[in-house]
Amino acid sequence: MTTEELIIAVVRVAGSLPVLRWALAGGLLAIVVDLSDLFQLNLLDLGGVANYQVLDKWLDLAYLATFAVVVLRWRGAPQTIAIALLAFRAVGFLAFEVTGNRWVLVAFPNVFEFWFLFVAAMRHYRPAYELDVRRSLTWLVPLALAKEAHELVLHGGRWLDHYTAIEVVENAWRWVF
């Protein structure tokens, strides 16, 4: 493991830990920290990263594990759906590890991530709102569609593979201003 990979790993694991105390804020922070490795790749020059996609998927396990710990405190449909979505993503992760094909990530989108953030937000902002099976499935459909679109952009079309994170920010800045 290069020094660069080690730094990225430490940051990603540390960025996952606040989820255990603050589900929503910690979950959002974990997602931001997940994206931060793209900037670290552009800014660090400490040995490089041999295979970013593989490293990223392994490091995703840190925040997925903390999300799972929080999910075990939930009850009812939100918990059942979360566990099923996590199992679905685990199958996709294993298939990706075996094949190395990024289309596997499109076929097994990480809807668990979006579901977790949605339920954490509902529990934080609307604690009286009951997520029964019908309501949960109604919300799950647009969340799954949004995550599938996200996976298609990242792994299917690979539309961002030819840009650095710094270039994306610079282009967005120019577009806005």
- The total of structural domains in the chain comes to 1
Q: What percent of the chain has a predicted confidence (pLDDT) above 70?
A: 86
Give the tens place of pLDDT for each residue, 21-60: 999 999 999 998 888 777 676 666 767 667 677 778 888 8
What's the pLDDT score for residue 6? Answer: 81
CB 82 within 8 A of CB 112: yes
pLDDT over threshold 90, residue 141: yes
> Which residue range forms the structural domain that includes residue 60?
3-176
**Residue 2's Cα: distance from chain center in Å?**
23
How many Å apart are CA 90 and CA 94, to the nearest integer? 6
The per-residue pLDDT for range 143-173, each reduced to its tens digit, is: 999 999 888 887 676 666 666 667 777 878 8
Confidence (pLDDT) at 16: 95
CA distance 118 to 135: 12
| CB of 82 closer than 8 Å to CB of 119 | yes
DSSP 155: I
